[in-house]
Structure 1
Amino acid sequence: MSDLRDAAMSSKAWPFEEARRVLKRYQKQPPEKGYVLFQTGYGPSGLPHIGTFGEVARTTMVKRAFEVISDIPTKLISFSDDLDGMRKVPGNVPNAASLEEHLQKPLTAVPDPFGTHESFGHHNNAKLRSFLDTFGFEYEFISAKEFYESGQFDEILKRAVEKYDEIMAVMLKSLREERASTYSIFLPIHPETGRVLYVPMKNVDAENYTITFDDEEGKEWTIPVTGGNVKFQWKPDFGARWAALGVDFEMFGKDHSTNAPIYDQICRILGWRAPEHFTFELFLDENGQKISKTSGNGVSIDEWLTYASSESLAYFMYLKPKTAKRMHFDVIPKAVDEYHQQLRAYETQDTKARLNNPVFHIHGHNVPTSDMVVPFSMLLNMASVSSAEDKETLWGFIRRYASEASPENNPTLDDAVGFAVRYYHDFVKPAKTYRAPTDQEREALSDLATALSSEEAALAAIAAKNAKMGRDDPLPEADFSDPEFLQAIVFAIGKLKEFEPLRDWFTAIYEVLLGASQGPRFGGFIALYGVEETIALIESALAGEFTK
C-alpha cells in the first residue's frame, strides 16, 4: 500500500493532482466533520445531460484518487437546486404548452410533463439518480427543496441575514447599475402564488430573521427566511451551500470561472473555508455550440447508452477535461475502442503506469479484463458490409475469426455486437455514400483481389513490393487467417500502385468498398469478413453495383 501511495503522490494524472490539493487542506489536522466532502451540483431545469454525468464521474475520480493517498474518510454529495424557479419551458419535453402557466414556480412545484412523478423537478432528479445508481456511483443525494424546508439551511440563512450588507457588497460589485438597484441575495417564495420572486428587499430584520418586500402586484409581505420560505440567488447559493455543508471540493464548467471568486468570498463570510475548485471546459455539439439541458442538443445520457457502455462514456469524461470537446455520436466508436485498448494495456503495466491509465480512475482497484477480441469499429464495418439486422449475423463472422469467442464467454463483446447493429442502422446506414474508383484505384483493387486469390499471387505481390523498395526482406509465411499477413498484402498493393501518401489507398478502400470515409485496419477486416467474401466485395464494387 505504501508503494501505491508513493506512486500516487507523484502521479501526473489529473485526478491525483486535484486530490493532492484537497489533502493539503488537512495537513495540520483532520476535518472536524470527520470526512472530506466532495460535491456536485445539478440544476434540474431540463433532463440530465452528459455534462451533468461528467461532473459526477470526474468528481468521483478525484474522490477515488484521494482515497489512495489518504485514510481520511470521504463523502460525495449530489445537490439538486430543485427549488429554483422555472425560467422558461424546455423545448424537449412533451406537453410543453401546459407548463407555461407554471413559469417562475419552483421546479418541484411544476407538474411533470411526462406524467410519471410528483413534479418536473422530481422527474429530473429521478432520471439523474437512476443513471448514477446504474453506474454504481457512491453518493448522497440532497434536494434543495428538502434541505430548505427541513431547516437544514436555516443556520446559514440566519447568518446571511446578519451578514446581509457584507454579502450584498460583494454581489453589487459584479452587477450592472440597473440590475444592482433591484438585486437581493434572497428570493422569496410567494406565500400565495408559490412563485419565486425576483424583487428588492424593503427591510432585512437581523433580530427576527425576516425580510419585507413588495410582490409584483405591489402588496407588502414580511416572511421568515427560514423553513423554505426563501431561497438564495444562484451565486450566493454556491457559497451558502459550501458553508452549510462544509464542502472541500467542487468542480464546475468554464462558464462559472469568473464567478468563482464571488462564491469563495460569500462562503468565507458565512464561516467556511472556500473549497478547492476544478474548472473544466464545456461540451460542445457537432456544430460547436454549448450543450444545453433545455435545448437538448448534443448527446444525452440515454442516447450514449443506446450505442455503447457506460464505461466508454466515463473514459470519454476522463480525457483532457480542460480541453473543450465536441460531444456528438461520431465520438462513440472511438471512445469504445480506446477504452478497451487501455484495459488491455493495464494488464501488463507497472504501478506507476497503472495510476496514469484512465481505466484505474474509472474502476479503481477493480479494473476488468477486456473480452473484445474484435474492435467496435470493426464490428461497425461488418454490420455495414453485411447489412446486419441482428446480432447473430455479426457473430457468424466473429466465430470464424475467433472460434473460442461466444456470447457466454465474451459478454462485453456480445453487448458491443448489439450496440454495433443499432449504431449501424441509426448512423452508418443513412450516411453510407459509395463512389466509383479512379483508374488507379480500379487497377489497385483488381490487383488486390488477385493477390487474395492464392498464396502464390499474395507472395508475388509482397516480393514485388520489396524489390520496388530495394529491400531484401524474407517473405512471410502465407496464412490467409492472419490479419498481419493480409495487411502486408494490402500494403504491398498500395506501394506497387504508387499511392502517395499511402493513406490515400486506404481511404479509397473505405470509400469504394465500405461507403465510408474511414475504417478499420483492412487486414483485420479481411480476416474477420473472409477472404472470399472480400474478393466478392471488390468485384461488386468494380462492377458498379454500389453506385447504381
Structure 2
Amino acid sequence: MLQGLSHSAQGAKSWPFEQARALLARILRLRLSDAERDLAATLIGAGKADEAVATLEPLQRSVIFETGYGPSGLPHVGTFGEVARTTMVRTAFRALTNDAIPTRLIAFSDDMDGMRKVPPGLPNQEMLQEDLEKSLSVVRDPFGTHESFAAHNNARLRAFLDGFGFDYEFMSSTDAYRSGRFDATLLVALERFDAIQKIMLPTLGEERRATYSPFLPVSPRTGKVLQVPTLERHVDRGTIVFADEDGERVEVPVTGGHVKMQWKPDWALRWVALGVDYEMAGKDLIDSVKVSSQVCKVLGGTPPEGFNYELFLDEGGQKISKTKGNGFSMEEWLRYATPESLAYYMFQSPKSAKRLHFDVAPKATDEYLQQLESFNRKKAEGANEPQIDNPVWHVHRGDPPVEGAAISFALMLNLVSAANASTKEILWGFISRYIPGATPSDHPLLDRLAGYAINYYEDFVKPAKTFRAPTDQERAAIGDLAARLRALPADADAEAIQNEVFEAGKAGGFEPLRAWFTALYEVLLGQSQGPRFGSFVAIFGVERTLELIDKALAGDLVAG
C-alpha cells in the first residue's frame, strides 16, 4: 500500500509527514556528501527513492526508530501513545521514501535499572523489599510466573504491543549491557568522563553533585545497582574503582554489564550505540532530552530527530499519573471503545494537552468512523490523490479497512438506553431491521460497537440517567411530533423523520432550536444530549418511539 506514494507524500501536511521529512533530511545530511545528498534529494523528490538507495550505499542501512519503556510497572496508555505515534512517523517515512530505505522500530526496556521503591499494590511486598536496589531483571517476580520482575513486565509489554499488531524489535537493557553491545560506547564514556560530568553536575542539587557519577556499578557482593561516587578511573584498563556497601574499594570494568549508566547518560549511550535516528518524548522530558543530547555529542553521536508531545490530563486538568490512578486508563478505553479510536485520539494534535476522561471515548469513536467513511467514499469516487493526510491512513498504517459503520456510536448508545438493552442480541434485533440482512459475522465492526455501547451505558450513562417531566411548551410540541410520526408512510427514512422533528420544534416556537432537541433527549432518554433524532427513530422504530412518547407524556418514565 505504501509503494508509489513518495511523490504525493512530499506535499502531505499532517504532522507525521512533517516529522518524516525532518528525519529524511537528517539521514541525507549525516550519511551523504553534498553531491550525494543533492542526487538523493532529486531522486526521492521525483518518486525514485529505490534508485537513490540502489545508487547510494549509505541509504541501504536501516533508519532506527526507538521507544523506551520502564518495566517497573505494566504497559499503560502512555506506552501505547508513544509506540502508536512513532509508528505513524515510521509509516509516513516509508511512504515518503517509497519504502525503499529500510526501517526498524526498537522497543527498549530499561530493565537493568535498580528498583528504588516497591511498587504499591503488588503481591509479595516483603520479598520485593528484600530486592530493593537490585536491577529489575534480577528482582524476583512477585507473581511467580517469570524468572524476574522485569521478565514478567517485559512479557506483558510484548503481548501488549503484539495485541495491537505493532511491528517492532524488543530489546532489553540488561541484555544490551551484558552482551557487550554497549561496550565500545561505554569505553568512550569512561575516556570522556570529565566532559560528561561538566554537563551533568550543573543540573543537580548541591548534595547530589557531591556523589554523582555517570556510572552506576553493580555490587559484586550484593548485586545492587549502587549510586556511589567513582573514586578512580583507569582508561587504559577500562575500569572504575568505587566503595562497595561494606566500604571495601572494588575495581570493575565498565563493560560486560558490570555497570549501568545514570538514566540521562544512559539515554545518550543508547542513541549512540544503537544508532537511533528518531525518538519522541513527553513534554515533561524536554530538559532531559536537552541534557541527553549534549551527552550524546560528547560520546561522538548526533542526537536523534523527534518532538515532545503534550501529556494527557484528567477531568480536573491534572497530569495523568500511574501512581495516582487518575484519568482514564487504556484498559478502560478498550472496554468502552475500539483500539482504532484510541489510536485516532493519539493522532490528533499531539502537541496540545488533552483530557483523557471517559466522555472523550464516544466522541473519538464517532470522529474515527466519520473519517473512515470519508476515506472510503473518496476512494470509491476515484480521488486523484491518495488521502495520506486523513487520520485513518495513519491509524491503519497506510491501509484502512473498507468496512465502516452505518450506525454511529452515539446512536448505538441511545439505542441501548431506549431499548434498555443488556445484550448484543437485543441490539441486533434493531440493527438487522435498519440494515436488512445484516449479521454480526458480516458486520464485525458494528458488532464490536454494540458491545462497547452496552458496557459504556451500564457504567456511565445508566447511573446518571435522569428523566424529567416536559414543560407545557414541550408537552405540546412532543404531542405534535407524535401526530406527525403517525402520519408518516411506513417506509419513511431517517431524513424524512428528521424533517418532521425539525418542523415540530419550529411549530412549537423553540428558539434556539437546539433547546427542542435537548428537551427530547431529557424527556424521552433521560440525558441532555444524543444523536440525530431522526436516525434514532428510524432504527428504534416509529411504533416503539410512539410508545416511548406516550410513557413520557403519561409521567411513567419519571416515575420509573
TM-score (norm 1): 0.91
Question: Corresponding residue for 1:24?
Answer: 25
Aligned match for 2:486, one of 453, 458, 465 = 453
Pairing of 1:452-471 with structure 2 (within 5 A): 452-455=485-488
Question: Corresponding residue for 1:229?
Answer: 258
Structure 1 residue 217: Cα displacement: 4.5
Structure 1 residue 440: Cα displacement: 2.5
Range 241-250 or range 325-334, more displaced: 325-334
Matched, 1:66 2:93: yes
Residues 299 and 327, structure 1, Cα contact 8 Å, conserved in 2: yes
Matched, 1:436 2:469: yes
Structure 1 residue 405: Cα displacement: 1.5
Pairing of 1:139-288 with structure 2 (within 5 A): 139-288=168-317
CA distance in 1, matches of 2:87, 2:387: 18
Aligned match for 1:42, one of 69, 82, 86 = 69
Aligned match for 2:141, one of 109, 112, 127 = 112
Residues 3 and 95, structure 2, Cα contact 8 Å, conserved in 1: no
Question: Corresponding residue for 2:45?
Answer: none
Q: Percent identity?
A: 55
Matched, 1:52 2:85: no
Question: Corresponding residue for 2:550?
Answer: 539
Q: Secondary structure at the match of 1:25?
A: helix
Q: Secondary structure at the match of 1:77?
A: strand
CA distance in 1, matches of 2:313, 2:246: 42
CA distance in 1, matches of 2:122, 2:446: 34
Residues 60 and 102, structure 2, Cα contact 8 Å, conserved in 1: no
Residues 60 and 101, structure 2, Cα contact 8 Å, conserved in 1: no
CA distance in 1, matches of 2:179, 2:523: 66
Question: Corresponding residue for 2:108?
Answer: 79
Aligned match for 1:338, one of 355, 367, 371 = 367
Query: Which aligned segments of 4 or more residues in structure 1 are displaced greater than 6 angstroms?
Result: none
Structure 1 residue 280: Cα displacement: 0.5
Question: Corresponding residue for 2:51?
Answer: none
- Provide closer, same or farther for how the CA distance between residues 48 and 518 of structure 1 changes in structure 2, counting only shifts above 3 A: same
- Provide closer, same or farther for how the CA distance between residues 96 and 483 of structure 1 changes in structure 2, counting only shifts above 3 A: farther
Q: Secondary structure at the match of 1:212?
A: strand
Question: Corresponding residue for 1:525?
Answer: 536
Pairing of 1:395-544 with structure 2 (within 5 A): 395-455=428-488, 481-544=492-555
Structure 1 residue 123: Cα displacement: 1.9
Range 24-33 or range 195-204, more displaced: 24-33
Structure 1 residue 75: Cα displacement: 0.7
1:107-130 CA distance string (max 9 Å, x none): 222233333322222222122211
Structure 1 residue 403: Cα displacement: 0.8
Q: Secondary structure at the match of 1:343?
A: helix
Pairing of 1:319-398 with structure 2 (within 5 A): 319-349=348-378, 350=383, 352=385, 354-398=387-431
CA distance in 1, matches of 2:450, 2:317: 30
Question: What is the count of residue pairs matched by the alignment?
Answer: 526
Structure 1 residue 216: Cα displacement: 4.4
Residues 412 and 453, structure 2, Cα contact 8 Å, conserved in 1: yes
Structure 1 stretches lacking a partner, 5+ long = 456-477
Question: Corresponding residue for 1:466?
Answer: none
1:213-253 CA distance string (max 9 Å, x none): 22445343322211212111111111110001000000010
1:11-55 CA distance string (max 9 Å, x none): 111111100001112325264781111111111121111111111
Residues 107 and 120, structure 1, Cα contact 8 Å, conserved in 2: yes
CA distance in 2, matches of 1:316, 1:256: 21
Structure 1 residue 351: Cα displacement: 5.4
CA distance in 2, matches of 1:84, 1:321: 29
Matched, 1:130 2:159: yes
Structure 1 residue 97: Cα displacement: 5.6
Structure 1 residue 154: Cα displacement: 1.3
CA distance in 2, matches of 1:138, 1:351: 30
CA distance in 2, matches of 1:301, 1:116: 24
CA distance in 2, matches of 1:332, 1:97: 39
CA distance in 1, matches of 2:415, 2:13: 39
RMSD: 2.0
Structure 1 residue 199: Cα displacement: 1.7
Structure 1 residue 198: Cα displacement: 1.6
CA distance in 2, matches of 1:90, 1:387: 41
Structure 1 residue 448: Cα displacement: 1.9
Structure 1 residue 479: Cα displacement: 6.2
Residues 48 and 293, structure 1, Cα contact 8 Å, conserved in 2: no
Matched, 1:289 2:318: yes
- Provide closer, same or farther for how the CA distance between residues 134 and 512 of structure 1 changes in structure 2, counting only shifts above 3 A: same
CA distance in 2, matches of 1:113, 1:424: 36
- Provide closer, same or farther for how the CA distance between residues 299 and 110 of structure 1 changes in structure 2, counting only shifts above 3 A: farther
Aligned match for 1:302, one of 331, 335, 349 = 331
Structure 1 residue 293: Cα displacement: 3.2
Q: Secondary structure at the match of 1:490?
A: helix
Q: Secondary structure at the match of 2:321?
A: coil
Equivalent position amino acid for 1:99 in 2? L
Structure 1 residue 176: Cα displacement: 2.4
Residues 8 and 386, structure 2, Cα contact 8 Å, conserved in 1: no
- Provide closer, same or farther for how the CA distance between residues 96 and 308 of structure 1 changes in structure 2, counting only shifts above 3 A: farther
- Provide closer, same or farther for how the CA distance between residues 51 and 228 of structure 1 changes in structure 2, counting only shifts above 3 A: same
Pairing of 1:88-107 with structure 2 (within 5 A): 88-96=117-125, 98-107=127-136
TM-score (norm 2): 0.89
Q: Secondary structure at the match of 1:142?
A: strand
CA distance in 1, matches of 2:14, 2:384: 13
Structure 1 residue 416: Cα displacement: 1.6
- Provide closer, same or farther for how the CA distance between residues 257 and 304 of structure 1 changes in structure 2, counting only shifts above 3 A: same
CA distance in 2, matches of 1:97, 1:506: 59
Q: Secondary structure at the match of 1:527?
A: helix
Equivalent position amino acid for 2:212 in 1? Y
Question: Corresponding residue for 2:13?
Answer: 12
